[in-house]
Structure 1
Amino acid sequence: MKYSLRHVLAVQAELGECPLWSVKEQVLYFLDILAPAIHRYDPQSGDHDVFPVEQHIGCLGLRAAGGFVAALRSGVCFMDAQGRITRWLGENPDPTDKSRFNDGRVDPWGRFWCGNLWQPQDRNGAHLCRLDNQLNLRVMAGDIKISNGLAFSPDRRWMYHSDTPNGMLYRYPLDSEGEPGAREVLRRFDDAADGLPDGAAVDVEGYYWSALYAGGKVVRIDPANGDIVASIPLPVRWPTMVAFGGADLKTLYVTSSREDRSAQELARYPQSGDLFAIDLPIAGIAEPQFTGG
């Protein structure tokens, strides 16, 4: 597959995450979870704005009513366009001294999915939650260490979900209302050979794009069998998530991390924490908006 890689922003995020393209605004939003802030980047003007957030922020989605729905360390809330909390909606189902919300996105039915992580890493103590259009937040799945890689197939038949430290990529069959069935293993990742599956997005052909944390690359995965059909190396070892953007949705934005990296590692990968873009011949899917509330 032909592609071109660009270094977009030397943002040096502690833990860059959750790139999110707004079709309406033609801008990219992304997060720094640990130096908590929402970043807004306009590729046309080059403007880069940063909106500090009061606690660790794992993921966010666009609201049809304006602003965001977001999952922070302690719970899920609505935010305005500058990252100010306007309404709390539900609590993290796990103790916040051991857990925070992490990856998530809005589904094709306009609901917000958000998973957390279990920080002690001594058991599969994390959960995947969903905020429905009536603003009810409930646990949808467990047996996870770090919830990641949430994405939906363009035909609405499948939901994808990864567990990063366990090296697992799962899929769930969806019914016509978007309710998930039993999860299936789509691929097991070998940490030493591949890296670990982190954040993801799906293209218009239904292929799953995953950022491989500690793998230094982004891969395209066949949804039928879990095979890697394309691999794009990056100048950083710790990519965290991808999102399709640009006017034609053929730009794959990639966030990255410098969390807990040694001075030697950062000297070898000085762009760790920065934002990258990969220009592709295949388009992604416009992100749905949360329709509740």
Structure 2
Amino acid sequence: MSEKIEVVVKNIQHGEGPHWDDTTQCLYYVDYFVNDVHRYNAVTGDDSRLNLGDSSVSIIIPRQKGGFVVSQKTDLAFLDSWDSGKVTSIAKVEADANMINDGKVDASGRLWFGSCVCGKDIHEPEDWPKHQGSLYSLDADGSVKKHISNISISNGMDWTDDNSVMYYIDSIPRQVWAFDFDITAGTISNQRTVADFSSTEIQDMGYADGMAIDTEGKLWMTCFNAGKVVRIDPETGTVMRTVKFPCEKITSCCFGGADFTDLYVTSSQYLMTPAQVEKTPLAGSIFKVTGLGVRGRKANTFSG
């Protein structure tokens, strides 16, 4: 089956954190280092932007009670509504030298998110300070729990349909891990590697970044600095499919569309030179991929 790639939004500095809202047919995502959240309406084609102040934002996910949960550098906060733009901090999670990175909500409504060193001026992943981030969760009652330390760049995550396994990426070791997942207790255990981007078996993949899972249990992972999204079988660690994009810094992805058969993919032009942008002018675009022949599922919303 042949896929089709189209550009739906251009000129984002560092697109990240896509979340599809099936109730409004809108894609929410962030422009990380300029502190913007975006709402792309797939019906009208309109892309609206809201600036959240002076702190880098990496997460925007709707709340079941209305509004959104967002991150602001080292804090978690509630965005009251898109129209009001009012942000209220609910927890300071990390030291000032760090920042919150990717996040996603599990089937119980619990937010999982990770951290890393604030890399605003770090050009390449290999220059990133290592082992200074963590993986956390936020429960509906506002309590924050740390699950793993010594993470370098916390990134994509997702869960199997039966909620027995959680997948999680640390970009610097270029590994995708699986954990046994207890959805009731909100705990993970039995860490193992399901895909290793640094191995000779999986070549030219860059750095694993964002992640989505399809209804067949296969992982769709973005390859930062390699310009592609790959579909990986977590049982074997092998690449089943590769989708190539017209820019290198592919950051994250999620399934969307009326029947969840579209794959929305974010990218970055952050810290690229004018010559690099001229060579790949679609860097920083939000892409929509159709015709993949697979589907995702409804995204979870935060219960707090």
Displaced runs of 4 or more, over 6 A? none
Aligned to 2:85: 84
Equivalent of 1:171 in 178, 188, 199: 178
Aligned to 2:42: 43
The DSSP-based 3-state class of the residue aligned with 1:161 is: strand
Aligned to 1:203: 214
Say if 1:154 and 1:285, in contact at 8 Å, map to a contact too.
no
The DSSP-based 3-state class of the residue aligned with 1:265 is: helix
Which deviations, in whole Å up to 9, do the C-alpha atoms of 1:211-234 show, x marking residues without a partner? 100010000110212211000000
The DSSP-based 3-state class of the residue aligned with 2:189 is: coil
Equivalent of 2:150 in 137, 143, 146: 143
Which segment is superposed worse, 186-195 or 202-211? 186-195
Gaps of 5+ in 2: 120-127
Instruction: Map 1:274-293 to 2 at 5 A.
Output: 274-279=285-290, 280-292=292-304
Task: Give, in whole Å, the separation in 2 of the partners of 1:14 and 1:81.
Answer: 24
Instruction: Map 1:193-232 to 2 at 5 A.
Output: 193-232=204-243
Aligned to 2:70: 70
Say if 2:8 and 2:45, in contact at 8 Å, map to a contact too.
no
Which deviations, in whole Å up to 9, do the C-alpha atoms of 1:112-144 show, x marking residues without a partner? 111111247333110111101211012111121
Equivalent of 2:271 in 260, 263, 274: 260
Quickly say closer, same or farther: Cα 1:176–1:198, change in 2 above 3 A.
closer
Say if 2:147 and 2:187, in contact at 8 Å, map to a contact too.
no
Task: Give, in whole Å, the separation in 2 of the partners of 1:113 and 1:187.
Answer: 21
| Residue type at the aligned position of 1:23 | D
Task: Give, in whole Å, the separation in 2 of the partners of 1:86 and 1:237.
Answer: 33
Aligned to 1:61: 61
| Residue type at the aligned position of 2:239 | I
| Residue type at the aligned position of 1:180 | I
Aligned to 1:24: 23
Offset of residue 176 of structure 1? 4.9
Which deviations, in whole Å up to 9, do the C-alpha atoms of 1:64-115 show, x marking residues without a partner? 111111122021111123273443221123x22x211110111111001111
Say if 1:19 and 1:30, in contact at 8 Å, map to a contact too.
yes
Say if 2:108 and 2:183, in contact at 8 Å, map to a contact too.
no
Equivalent of 2:247 in 202, 211, 236: 236
* TM-score, length of structure 2 as denominator length: 0.91
Say if 2:28 and 2:38, in contact at 8 Å, map to a contact too.
yes
Task: Give, in whole Å, the separation in 1 of the partners of 2:287 and 2:256.
Answer: 12
Quickly say closer, same or farther: Cα 1:176–1:161, change in 2 above 3 A.
closer
Identity over aligned residues, as a percent? 29
Task: Give, in whole Å, the separation in 1 of the partners of 2:40 and 2:9.
Answer: 9
Say if 2:133 and 2:152, in contact at 8 Å, map to a contact too.
yes
Offset of residue 9 of structure 1? 1.2
Offset of residue 175 of structure 1? 2.5
* TM-score, length of structure 1 as denominator length: 0.94
The alignment covers a number of residue pairs equal to 289
| Residue type at the aligned position of 2:195 | R
Equivalent of 1:133 in 132, 140, 144: 140
Which segment is superposed worse, 217-226 or 78-87? 78-87
| Residue type at the aligned position of 1:170 | W
The DSSP-based 3-state class of the residue aligned with 1:182 is: strand
Matching of residue 103 in structure 1 with residue 102 in structure 2: yes
Which deviations, in whole Å up to 9, do the C-alpha atoms of 1:237-283 show, x marking residues without a partner? 11100011100001000000011112222111111111101012111
Gaps of 5+ in 1: none
Matching of residue 189 in structure 1 with residue 200 in structure 2: no
Matching of residue 248 in structure 1 with residue 259 in structure 2: yes
Task: Give, in whole Å, the separation in 2 of the partners of 1:179 and 1:114.
Answer: 13
| Residue type at the aligned position of 1:103 | D
| Residue type at the aligned position of 2:159 | F
Say if 1:147 and 1:162, in contact at 8 Å, map to a contact too.
yes
Say if 1:16 and 1:33, in contact at 8 Å, map to a contact too.
yes
